[in-house]
Amino acid sequence: MIKKPRIVILTGAGMSAESGISTFRDSNGLWENHDVMDVASPQGFKKNPDLVLEFYNQRRKQLFEVEPNLGHRALVELEDKYDVVVITQNVDDLHERAGSKTIVHLHGELRKVRSVADKRLVYDWENDINIGDKCEKGYQLRPHIVWFGEDVPMYESALELVTMADYVMVIGTSMQVYPAAGLVYEAPKKSPVFFIDPKPQVDKRNFQNLTVFAESATTGVRKVVDILNK
């Protein structure tokens, strides 16, 4: 069996923005006048768990109102010819719903919850999380999201995948937030890198073979997929 070349795709908020998914970094970075750290940190959860749960309950509800966009769907076309791995900073499930088969969620998933006391106890979850919803050991459930200040448990797996990439695509992310931002620099130097973002912030001197598309995810991804599938 002939081994397919591997494409590793790194996606951020811009990947889902055209589907209508709002982000932390819209305009003033606030949500109903609350600082992001109030709703996306362990300290915020300890201080006001009701607020944090409601924040993620609203975001989870939004998932049922949006659909994968043309960019998500175009990536699936690569799977016939390539070994495709999507490494996403997004917590939505739009890559899955579009049909991508291998997805690494760096920052967690909105449609999952976990125990506050045991990270191994993770459950699929589509409804609201409320105070009093508990894991099998009797501990409160929380969103299965990596908050600011917490370790990124999937980072090592993502890093290993990037180091074996024959091609890399970076879509809809400034690659300015670490540790995720460092992943693209771990790709083999010879591997072509395609960078797609309306306002790309990338130093070409860090790459031997970089192509930049200063475009939205839907239009830029279409162009790169057509190039790779020639």
Q: Report, as residue numbers or ranges, the catalytic residues.
A: 107
Beta carbons within 10 angstroms of residue 93's beta carbon: 16
Torsion over CA of 22, 23, 24 and 27, rounded to 10 degrees? -70
> Do 174 and 13 contact (CB within 8 A), yes or no?
no
Measuring CA to CA, which residue among 34, 98, 25, 22 is closest to residue 60? 22
Separation CA 167–CA 81 (nearest Å): 13
The SS3 of residue 83 is strand
> Do 118 and 135 contact (CB within 8 A), yes or no?
yes
Measuring CA to CA, which residue among 159, 10, 8, 12 is closest to residue 82? 8
- Which DSSP state fits 206? G
* Token pair belonging to 94: 């739009």
> Do 193 and 170 contact (CB within 8 A), yes or no?
yes
> Do 69 and 21 contact (CB within 8 A), yes or no?
no
**Triad 176, 58, 135: Cα angle to 5°:** 95
